[in-house]
Structures are given as C-alpha cells and as structure tokens.
C-alpha cells in the first residue's frame, strides 16, 4: 500500500466561495517533488506565492507542477465575504476527512496563526475520531518550514482564478462543492 502525505492551503476569492486545496503526494515521492519545487522558485525567494507572481512565472510554474506525481482536490464552500470564513473552512475540512483515502497518514496545513490553528485541530480531531481514522497525524506549518505547501497554494490559486488558469491544472485537480 502506498502511503500518502496531504498538504493543505486555502484560497479566498471575492466570488463567495471559500476554497481549501489538498494536494496528495506518495510519501516515496516527496523528495522528488521538493527538488522540482526548488527549481521553480526564483533566486532570492523561498517559495513561489501565486497571488504576487507575474503571469509568465505563474504559467511556467503551473506547467512544471502538472507533470509531478501529485493529485489535488479543491473543496469549495459558500461563505459571506463580509463575515468570518471559519464555518466554510470547517465544512471543507470535514469533507476532506470524510473522503480521506485509507492511505493518507500525514496531513500538513498552512498555519494561520495560533488561534485559528487551534480551531482547525479541534475540527480535525473530532472528524478523524468520528471516521475512526486515528492513524492520521496532522500539524500546521508555515510555508517557510514546509516548501510543499506551495503546491496547494499554486493549484488552489489556479482553480479559483479566471481563464486560462483552471484549464492549465485540470489534469491534476478535482473540485468538490461542499454544502
């Protein structure tokens, strides 16, 4: 059985959808994927952050990413942009756990600060316990500490952007609307 690691980041847009992108990588492929990511990071930067990159850099990075041995799922929940997105995030996290493959053993989420990370841990603990998935470990890390968090950042950005971006990642991404 191939063990998987999952990396999670959010993408918030003004279209009323909260997006939580999960990228799964076989544990045996994480070193290869990390090396590939380092090759696309511009000199002097520690990562590619899609909301602040040029279109040319985004296009080149996405073309490189879709050739990697990864699979991404973006969970989408409606939310009111004028209020807190925590309810939508919780819905997406629960949907992620409900659909978890028995092969996922490690989950790494992009940190959003101590208070919000604690809220995530409560949701994950309860959802994993209810799904009888106690073998899954999870943690929050910053993007400086975990370069593989660049994957859900990039793919989530592309899924939520207007044309032509979603088409560039269609081969490795799936969207699930959470109600």
Classified as helix, coil or strand, 69 is coil
Handedness of CA 173, 11, 149, 130 (dihedral sign): negative
Give the chain's domain count.
1
pTM: 0.94
Name the residue range of residue 125's domain: 4-178
What are the structure tokens assigned to 88, written together?
């939508």
Alpha helices (runs of H) in the chain, residue ranges in sequence order: 30-40, 55-65, 86-98, 114-130, 150-160, 165-168
- Phi, psi at residue 37, to the nearest 5°? -65, -40
Q: What is the CATH number of the domain that holds 33?
A: 3.30.420.10
Per-residue pLDDT of the chain (179 residues; tens, 9 = 90+): 899 999 999 988 888 999 999 999 999 999 999 999 988 887 777 777 777 778 888 899 999 999 999 999 999 999 987 777 999 999 999 999 999 988 999 999 999 999 999 999 999 999 999 999 889 999 999 988 999 999 999 999 999 998 899 999 999 999 999 97
């Amino acid at each position: 059985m191939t063990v998987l690691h999952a990396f999670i980041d959010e993408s918030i847009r003004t279209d009323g959808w909260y997006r939580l992108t999960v990228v799964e990588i076989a544990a045996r492929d994480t070193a290869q994927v990390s090396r590939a990511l380092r090759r696309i990071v511009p000199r002097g930067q520690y990562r590619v952050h899609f909301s602040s990159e040029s279109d040319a850099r985004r296009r080149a990075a996405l073309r490189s990413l879709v050739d990697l041995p990864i699979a991404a799922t973006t969970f989408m929940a409606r939310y009111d942009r004028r209020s807190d997105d925590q309810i939508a995030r919780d819905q997406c996290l629960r949907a992620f756990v409900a659909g978890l493959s028995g092969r996922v053993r490690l989950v790494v989420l992009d940190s959003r600060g101590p208070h919000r990370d604690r809220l995530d841990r409560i949701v994950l603990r309860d959802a994993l316990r209810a799904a009888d998935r106690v073998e899954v470990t999870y943690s929050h890390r910053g993007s400086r500490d975990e370069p593989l968090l660049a994957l859900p950042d990039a793919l989530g950005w592309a899924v939520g952007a207007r044309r032509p971006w979603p088409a560039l990642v269609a081969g490795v991404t799936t969207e699930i609307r959470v109600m």
